[in-house]
Amino acid sequence: LMHLTRKLIEIRTMLLSIDQSDALKLPSIVVIGSQSSGKSSVLEAIVGHEFLPKGNNMVTRRPIELTLIHTPSTGGREPEEYGEFPALGLGKISDFSQIQKTLTDLNLAVPASEAVSNEPIDLRIYSPRVPDLTLIDLPGYIQIASLDQPETLKEKIAGLCEKYIREPNIILAVCAADVDLANSPALRASRKVDPLGLRTIGVITKMDLVPPDQGATILTGNRYPLHLGYVGVVSKVSGKKARRENTTDVVLRGESDFFGAHREHFGSSSSVMTGTDTLRKRLMEVLESSMASSLHGITNAVQLELEETQYQFKVQYNDRRITAESYVAETVDALKGRFKEFTSQFRKPQIRTKLKEMLDEKVMDVLETLYWSDKRSAELAALAADPKVKPEDVESYWRYKLDAASSLLTKSGVGRDSTLLVADGLRSLIDSIAAGEPFTHHPRAAERLIEFSHMILRDRIGVTSDQVENCIKPYKYEVEVDEREWEVGRTQAVQLFEKEVGHCEEKLKELRKRAGGSRRLNGLIGYVKELEVKEKERSQKRLALPSEDSEATSDDSKDLVDDYRYPPAQILDARHAMLYSDRIAILKLRLAALKSKRCRSGPESDLFCPEAFLNVVADKLAYTSTMFINIELLDQFFYQFPREIDSRLLYDLDRREIVEFARENPVVRRHLDLQERKDKLEEVMKQLNSLAMLRPEAAQTAPRR
């Protein structure tokens, strides 16, 4: 028979971990009583150890779910006694004073402002000296809250007890013999939910404090009858003896001495139950029969719950099972896959194009500062247009100019700029991966991903930019250009200029639209030019006549008024329009030159066609930079990154961290939860069915699967 209780206690523990709804609950014994009624002493006598928190300040602040597991001796050897807090992962604790300390800490951790908490502490005790039982110890009822306790404490405790003494639980109502039963809050609370006392056992403590005949009368239960009866106990420790021996042994001996000494009152009548041993047996019987009668109902409830869960699992997940480990592995694979996919953007041709674009801009800047702003550039154009002029005939001024342009380009920090450009690309690639699914659910992993990829980049940037700079060094002194390269450079310059012309025209169009048509824009431009001419005249006049002149002053003020004919924003637009038109004019002139016979003739015309020459230089720089960035930065990064994922991202996690990681993703968490619920219910159902097999009369009532 004990087998049943034990099994059902296991099942009860499993069901508690599935959910807290009343439908799936197997009975437990709930211990209630007022403060100092001797509740703790009774529980400790049952367990045979002192393990509950002691102190004047209310010490039980959370319910204690106490599961006692009987461990039979094997081959004459007594198994070790120990306790366990499954939720804390502290392992086996064989020192019961350590259990007491842990319980005290857990209770004191409840903030004083709350005073009691609904969250139970799960404690299991394994011992050959305990029966298989589940007991729930609740905070003792109080009469009035002391000064440092919240006003509502009394109600809070009563509410908590009320929640636990509901069906199907068994109520162990602890009352002290020296207090009138009419004043027992435990009996009062139990009568509310169990008026006939069908599931209430009375425990009368401190039997030694009242005359034996009075005690015996209480135990007969005539005044407040309980179907399950009263048990009288003495669980007081006498201080002197306790210090010498195991306290609870002393208690039990004292108890049997006491009842033995008053045999005339307690010995004969079978309706009077006394002693902790009797209480223990009584509790076992009551729990056993209560469990047995719950078996049928719980089996049905679990069956229903299981069917619903199986259905949900089928519908929502098509019966697909996952594990936290498989999720981690998939995440890592997907990450590597995404990374690989993205790296196709970092092949040599793409890098070369990117670098060339950056260098094209530099070329434009160089041309602008050295050539287009030079008033003599028209002279060069004239020379170029004259077929009789040979390169040797051209002034060395232009030779110096071309050399300067080439150096400006090669010495502009190409190594650093090109390396940073590519590194920035990699960085934003990783950032975008880290900002996407599923890393939105895993902020810590995303952070780590960014951290180590940046670290690899930081490590490589210095080396790479030095290496690139070193390799382009020769171009700083001389750039040799062959026919084919020249032609490529020339065509690219043509394309670049055409693109730039297109871009400027686009801008002009926008400005025209904003001004309200080309006539209005031209009007604006005319006005601005007029202003410029006036401005020039005025400054010349000022140079000629430095002294104050009344006529000039009045003239100035007239102009000032004139200045406000158009709003400043429009004046600014007109100035931009002028810049764009000038640029278009120059670009078109140079385009004509680039397409001329002179420029087509080959590299010896470099003096006349600096654009083509600089393009060749930019091409060579882009090519060389790409080659070394590829070796020093990209290859290294692509090699190291997946390895860092393996060694740093998730592989150093232990089992608990893996589960934690997987559960950060709400989709995975729901999947795991439902799957776990289904597994547990299946296991519970299996166990319930095996119990039904053990008990033929239950087998008939248990539903078949």
Binding site for ligand GDP (CB under 6 A): 33, 35-41, 140, 205-206, 208-209, 234-236
- At 673, the amino acid letter reads D
Q: Residue 626 contacts by C-beta under 8 Å, 6 or more apart in sequence? A: 348, 351, 352, 355
Tokens 């008990």 sit on residue: 695
CA atoms within 13 A on the CB side of 478: 1
Q: Are 233 and 204 in contact (CB under 8 A)?
A: yes
CB of 206 to ligand GDP, least distance (A): 4
Q: What is the 3-state secondary structure (H, E, C) of 29-64?
A: EEEEEECCCCHHHHHHHHHCCCCCCCCCCCCCCCCE
β-pair type (121-127, 64-70) = parallel
CB of 240 to ligand GDP, least distance (A): 14
CA gap 536, 491 in Å, rounded: 42
CB of 111 to ligand GDP, least distance (A): 22
Q: Which of 624, 514, 496 is nearest to 570 (CA)?
A: 514
CB closer to ligand GDP, 273 vs 335: 273
Q: Which of 653, 659, 683 is nearest to 673 (CA)?
A: 659
CA gap 273, 179 in Å, rounded: 19
Helix or strand or coil: residue 77? strand
CB of 34 to ligand GDP, least distance (A): 7
CB of 221 to ligand GDP, least distance (A): 19
CB closer to ligand GDP, 31 vs 446: 31
Tokens of 303: 């069956």
CB of 700 to ligand GDP, least distance (A): 44
CB closer to ligand GDP, 61 vs 490: 61
CB of 139 to ligand GDP, least distance (A): 10
CB closer to ligand GDP, 96 vs 661: 96
Tokens of 510: 């926008």
CA gap 10, 26 in Å, rounded: 10
CB closer to ligand GDP, 39 vs 354: 39
Helix or strand or coil: residue 116? coil
CB of 205 to ligand GDP, least distance (A): 5
Enclosing H/E stretch for 118: none
With the C-alpha atoms ordered 291, 294, 300, 305, is the resulting torsion angle positive or negative? negative
CB closer to ligand GDP, 58 vs 456: 58
CA gap 598, 608 in Å, rounded: 8
Q: Residue 308 contacts by C-beta under 8 Å, 6 or more apart in sequence? A: none
β-pair type (64-70, 133-137) = antiparallel
CB of 285 to ligand GDP, least distance (A): 23
- At 136, the amino acid letter reads I
CB closer to ligand GDP, 65 vs 132: 65
CB of 251 to ligand GDP, least distance (A): 8
Q: Which of 130, 121, 139, 110 is nearest to 39 (CA)?
A: 139
CB closer to ligand GDP, 146 vs 345: 146
CB of 234 to ligand GDP, least distance (A): 4
CB closer to ligand GDP, 209 vs 589: 209
Tokens of 621: 């720089």
CB closer to ligand GDP, 39 vs 362: 39
CB closer to ligand GDP, 200 vs 235: 235
CB of 215 to ligand GDP, least distance (A): 11
CB of 30 to ligand GDP, least distance (A): 14
> Is the preceding omega at residue 474 within 30 degrees of 0, hence cis?
no
Alpha helices, DSSP H, located in 134-245: 153-164, 185-193, 212-220, 239-244
CA atoms within 13 A on the CB side of 117: 15
Q: Residue 178 contacts by C-beta under 8 Å, 6 or more apart in sequence? A: 206, 209, 210
CA gap 95, 51 in Å, rounded: 9
